[in-house]
Amino acid sequence: MSAVDRRLKSTSGFYKNYVKKSYEDAHRAKAEKRPVAWVASTFPVEALQAMDVVPVWPENYASVCAARQVSVELCELAEREGFSRDLCSYSRCVLGSIFGSDKELPEGGLPEGGLPKPDFLVATTSACDTHVKWFQVASRVYKAPFFVLDTPYNIGGGDSEHIDKSHIEYYESQLSDLFDFLEKQTGAKLDKYKLRQTLALSNWTSKLWTEIQDLRRNIPCPMDARDAFSAVFFMLCMPGSQVAVDFYTQLRDELQQRVKEDIGVVENERFRLVWDNLPLWYNLRIFEYLNTLGAVVVAEVFSHTWTGTLDPERPYESLARKYLPNMANSTIQRRLNIVLNLVKDFHVNGVILPTNWGCRMMSVGETIVKDAVYKKLGVQSLILDVDSSDWRVAGEAQVKERLATFLETIIK
């Protein structure tokens, strides 16, 4: 098979067809005076979709700016406003886009015309403190209401079936407060039938995404991390939508065919890797570099973080069981268990653990994970100092050298 034949058809033009279009739709909604909300990860976005609120993800926008090679310029604008370089690079990038004057912004302007101004903002306490403080700043700048969904910490580290009952009940009470807030902001009442429909679509989306990940267990692996980090967009940003279901159905079917025909990402698959944390959004070609060395990232912890079964007949409880066990809201042991299971289930012989300086919360415990994976499974890991959006942390040559050296240690 030629290199061209190995590219997935489903993900070809993904940015233009789906990501870019989502920003165009959000700007159009703003122009038409339909409600637009900024939303942070770990927030139950299905609640917004059920209320016909257009969700916009500043974190996704930061990854877009990184891919368009303007994230560092925007981070520097935020730093000149007094925001520390030690802060989350996502937040610095977006804050730079807010505070930068027209003369300071990147040549050609902001990607996709920037983020539309929010009518209100929503976040949770379950990811990191930066989310809340970042959105507080934006709330003051835009004079827009801000709702924080208070989330009990999953101290037991349980999965969706083993969450403390009191935690579920408290989360349900927070959802009630959330819908009161949304009704006040939109002037519309919650349609419980629409909520059930949204959860049914989100559940279908999650099921399809899980099937897609399971197909990557095959040897050779039919899909690499570069495509996965693009396609996970729907799981994060619009899970309760028909477009998500349609796209994942198409992608699932294509991967099934590739497995049937024994077509992998590379012709000679020598290394099967797990990638923890976020990718280098400004240099997704790093995965293609790994391919040239016979290595394929067959699983990402990030891709296995956002799924969850939803029961439309128990909407509040279902949302609690989906979002409370999120890795960002759980113990290091839960994260370690995810990595261990991926290594075993996907026949992995190496783990990449990026210490993402732009997201300290996602980087806690890398040495614990590295030691445990080797002790329990005899599989080696590489701790890689990088930043998902700020390339000032590590140069491309340095990253490539460390990856190549790591693969050599696996051979030995």
pLDDT tens readout for residues 75-92: 999 999 999 998 999 999
Taking the CA atoms of 386, 390, 395 and 400 in sequence, report the sign of the dihedral they define.
Answer: positive
In this structure, the number of other CB atoms found within 10 A of the CB of residue 185 comes to 18
Percentage of residues in the chain having pLDDT higher than 90: 84
Distance CA 113, CA 144 (A): 20
CA distance 219 to 221: 5
3-state secondary structure of 34: coil
User: Average pLDDT for residues 211-218, to the nearest whole number?
Assistant: 98
Q: Are 361 and 328 in contact (CB under 8 A)?
A: yes
pLDDT, tens digit (0-9, with 9 covering 90-100), for 16-36: 999 999 999 999 999 999 999
* CA-derived radius of gyration, the chain: 21
CA-nearest of 41, 39, 124, 138 to 83 is 138
Please, are residues 234 and 244 in contact by the beta-carbon 8 Å criterion?
A: yes
When the pLDDT of each residue in the chain is averaged and rounded to a whole number, the result is: 93
**What is the band of 247 on the pLDDT scale with cuts at 50, 70, 90?**
very high
Q: pTM of the full predicted structure?
A: 0.95
- Other beta carbons within 10 angstroms of residue 12's beta carbon come to 10
φ, ψ of residue 242 to 5 degrees: the values are -70, -35
Report which of residues 19 and 126 the model is more confident about: 19
Position 102 pLDDT exceeds 70: no
Domain that holds residue 343: 4-411
Q: Which tens digits make up the pLDDT trace of 373-402?
A: 999 999 999 999 999 999 998 889 999 999
Q: Where are the alpha helices (DSSP H) in 232-350?
A: 233-237, 242-260, 285-292, 315-323, 332-345
Per the structure, the count of domains in the chain is 1
Work out the pLDDT band at 356, boundaries 50, 70, 90. confident
Rounded Cα distance, 63 and 22, in Å: 14
Task: Dig out the tokens for 186 from the structure.
Answer: 């939109």
